[in-house]
Amino acid sequence: MLALQGNESRLKVSEFKLSTLLEITNAINNNLPEDQLFVLFQYILEHQLNIGKALVFLCQNGVWNHALSYGVSKGELSIDVEHDLRDITDITVMEMMGKHQSKSFDIVIPVFHQKEIIAHVLLGDLDEHELKASPIIRHLPFIQTLANLTAVAVENKRLMRESMKQEMLNHELHLASEMQGMLLPKTLPNDERLQVAATYRPHQEVGGDFYDVTRVSDDEVFFCMADVSGKGMSAAILMASFQASLRAHAQADRNLKDIVTDLNQRVWQNAQGERFITLFIARFNHSTRNFEYINSAHPPPFLLDKNGSYKLADGCVGLGMFEELPFINKGSVKLSSDALFVCYTDGLNELENEANEPFDEDQIIKMGMDGEFESMYDLNKLIMQALDNHRGPLDFQDDIALVSCRLL
């Protein structure tokens, strides 16, 4: 008779455990939120298994956080997981008596996911002096299974969110890259008075580099290069709006200061100070040989002619930094025949080597003066080779746009 009752009791316990596992599995399959999964886990421990107290620490992105607790003191919540539990890799009977703790935990259950510990479940009985088998000991394999199901489900949810976030980011970067490609000119003017070559090397994170060289009349050429702060789709959208305005201004016979003022207002309206754009714009007249420009916080380009070299730094602050530009200075240079103009974005001059040294821009002046190139394409190739030699085994850190022009 006793044996029969014992068998019936064990059968009921087995049925309970199976139904409980089915319940928590269904909750996971129905995509129950993480906090609700822990509520269900606590209910099973506290009310169905009569476990006196429990404390769960969960590791996400390398950081341990308190995920569940009941029946524990404030002192027990302050357990240092990295220090106190770092050596526990299997179910362990332990006693953790901190100076603020009035009770100890009996069992620690580590939970693994792909060979990494992602959770620690600490359990203790309500009445540690009661003379009967502890429910923790009686149900330990079952509790371990529940803990694994719950913690691994929460971790898988986190990994799924990260995967979706990364997929969305990759899609955004792909779209931004396509948008940026559409902004850059497909052809550049090359004739008996002007030779132009452009090189663009994108970084894995899409930025907002833009350049253009446009012949606006028989005598005049308009140059521009810009770089928006930040990466991704928002940077590409801001540059697209900026580029449309810039090209419209390039076709109009307007003072460069007026152009920069209008462009600053557009960037401010679109970005509200959250992003800014560095810009270099210039206009060259073949008949007068006058080269006038404004540099808005852009890396200063170089001009070289038989009279020497010029670093084109006159201008103003970056566009969009202030609602109204505090000052605008316009530079002007009278060029001799066969002058050389080289402009680039900060991905070039800020490129560092293994010693954290930036690229020496003066090498560009030396290359231009040496004249060991037949075309602007060859000059760009020499500059990019110098960049490769400088960075060594390191990757490029940003987009690089490079435009070289010969003004004949």
Q: Which of 258, 257, 255, 260 is nearest to 242 (CA)?
A: 260
Other beta carbons less than 10 A from residue 112's beta carbon: 13
**Stated pTM of the model:** 0.65
Mean pLDDT (whole number) for 151-155: 85
Q: How confident is the model at residue 75 (pLDDT cuts 50, 70, 90)?
A: confident
Q: Per-residue pLDDT averaged across 194-217, rounded?
A: 85
Q: Which CATH class is domain 2-162?
A: alpha beta
pLDDT score recorded for residue 296? 97
CATH superfamily for 184-407 is PPM-type phosphatase domain (3.60.40.10)
CA dist 121 → 54, 107, 136 (Å): 7, 8, 12
Confidence of residue 10 (pLDDT cuts 50, 70, 90): low
d(CA 22, CA 44): 13
Mean pLDDT taken over the chain: 84
Domain ranges of the chain: 2-162, 184-407
Q: Higher model confidence: residue 44 or residue 27?
A: 44
Asked whether residue 134 carries a pLDDT value surpassing 80, the answer given is no
